[in-house]
Amino acid sequence: MTAGTIEIRNPADGSVVGRMPAAGEDEIDAALAQANRTRARWARTPAAERGALLHTAAGRVRAHADELAKANEAETGRPWDEAREGVLAGAGTLDQYAELGPVHRGRSLLGGVGATDLMVPEPRGVVVALTPWNDPVAVACGLLGAALATGNTVVHKPSERAPHTGQLLGEVLGDVFPAGALQTLHGDGGVGAILAMRDDVDVIAHVGSTATGRSIAASAAATGAKTLLENGGNDPLVIDEDVDPGWAAGQAALGAFANSGQLCVAVERIYVCSAVAEPFLAALVKEASSRTLAPLVDRRHRDHVHAHVSDAIERGARLLAGGEVPDGPGAHYPATVLTGCAPDSRVMTEETFGPVAAVRIVDGFDEGLAEAAEGDYGLAATVLTASMGHAQRAWRELPAGTVKVNNVFGGAPGGAAHPRRRSGNGYGYGPELLDELTQTKLVHIAPPA
């Protein structure tokens, strides 16, 4: 970001996609002032009416799905068909909160016969939503939909790596709601930091890096704003000795290489039992070598991913596939397989967020489970096993908000989990997100004496 302007280059070929002016302090002041002026009116709008508007918004997103996917592909390199799936998922989430909002309820209490006692959910006020670039429409629609359904006003700052997608989403949704209910601002982390430090913000909802999440938490501690943080992850995969190594390699490749590894719940570190390690690694290398990946979001991020790979090799890891920066334009990086990774190497302790399968061979399931449970993150984890006993141990013992058994991706709709440790706090999805975005008022009504 230079001179108040964000420049985005296509990560496939390095061409300029466009430039977007970043918000200055006057624009931030104006947006928050309008959000605060609108909050009372929007909170008084009946929940059914808010839900109907969210259904309209979902229809608008579907109608513009092709354009949103095209903008996403140009800015981040995500293939158009995958980007479109994310857009449609976002529309579905808006529909979900359109239905859940009107039935979000408090409860009555059993007090005295002549009195009424209620616990009533109310909007928190002004929500700042800071959303990421790797699935920009789907993630934004979840936070925006839940916040609007519960009667909050929203100021949305999309990632500076996908501002055109964010701007188009704001234009698609903006005139569906009353003026001031939903606004879009652009800028880098500096704009996000200013928003996080404001006293006239009630909730800061962030999906992104751990470093940014920690900075937001520090700002919110001073202002009193509530935080919802889904930070980074360093998700483990444990492969038991009783599973088919070829199938396990397919699961590992899907988890590590989908969207070029740029998923918050990507497989980052793999612990495979020695009994199946050799055929597993051979199959994983074959998987990696057969994949042509979309580029990483930009060269700065590619430098980060390659630094992790170089660090692992310096610490004794063996490179079995990929691991070299290709010549030519853009931000391409190959599917990479490492084995013999030291426990303290960056690929095993930090979030790489790239197409890197980092493998450690362990003596057995107990050792793999113990190593998988270590670390500073706690977003998600996966275990591949034919043993029901091992599966039960895994989901009980792994300190992660989400644990998956025999499927690196998947799960029923509406699921919600608490990230652990450095991975954040608060529900980020599902009906429980409505609870996060409301505050409870206890009401006692008694007749006059």
Q: How far is CA 437 from CA 1, 58, 65, 166, 429, in A?
A: 32, 20, 27, 22, 11
104 pLDDT higher than 80: yes
pLDDT of residue 411: 84
Whole-angstrom Cα distance, residue 379 to residue 269? 13
* Residue type present at position 226: K
pLDDT confidence tier of residue 174, bands split at 50, 70 and 90 = confident
Span 212-238, average pLDDT:
94
CA-to-CA separations, 40 to 34, 44, 84, 113, 152, in angstroms, rounded: 11, 6, 35, 33, 9
pLDDT score at 426: 93
**Packing angle, helices 25-44 and 189-196, rounded to 10:** 50
Give kind and range of the element (H or E) at residue 58.
helix 47-63
251-279 pLDDT, tens digit per residue, is: 999 999 999 999 999 999 999 999 999 99
Which residues lie below 8 Å from residue 46, measured CB to CB, with a gap of 6+?
Answer: none
Per the prediction, the chain carries an average pLDDT of 95
- pLDDT at residue number 350: 96
DSSP string across 334-398: --EEEES--TTSHHHHS---SSEEEEEEESSHHHHHHHHT-SSEESEEEEE-S-HHHHHHHHHHS
Going edge to edge, which strands form the sheet with 236-239? 318-321, 336-339, 356-362, 269-273, 236-239, 380-384, 402-405
pTM, entire model: 0.94
Nearest of 187, 188, 195, 203 to residue 146 by alpha carbon: 203
Q: What is the pLDDT of residue 428?
A: 86
**Per-residue model confidence as pLDDT tens digits over 109-137:** 998 888 999 999 999 999 999 999 999 99
Decide if pLDDT at 291 tops 70: yes
| pLDDT at residue 2, as a whole number | 35
Mean pLDDT throughout 315-334? 97
* Domains located in the chain, CATH noted: 5-232+423-445 (3.40.605.10), 235-405 (3.40.309.10)
- Would the pLDDT of 358 be above 90? yes
pLDDT for the residue numbered 85: 97
* Greatest pairwise CA separation for the chain in angstroms: 84
Q: Are 19 and 133 in contact (CB under 8 A)?
A: no
> What per-residue confidence (pLDDT) applies to 1?
37
Determine how many CB atoms are found less than 10 A away from the CB of residue 380. Answer: 29
Above 50 in pLDDT, residue 299? yes
Residue 414: band (very low, low, confident or very high) from pLDDT cuts 50, 70, 90 = confident
Q: Which helix (H) or strand (E) holds 289?
A: helix 274-289
Please report how many Cα atoms fall inside a 13 Å half-sphere around the Cα of residue 343, on the Cβ side.
10
User: Can you tell me the mean pLDDT for 224-241?
Assistant: 95
- For residue 206, the SS3 value is strand
Q: How confident is the model at residue 84 (pLDDT cuts 50, 70, 90)?
A: very high
Cβ neighbours around 48 below 10 Å, total: 12
Predicted local distance difference test score (pLDDT) of residue 4: 87
SS3 171: helix
Whether 442 shows a pLDDT value over 70: the answer reads yes
362 has a pLDDT exceeding 60: yes
**How far, in Å, CA of 243 to CA of 330, rounded?**
39
Question: Average pLDDT for residues 137-154, to the nearest whole number?
Answer: 97
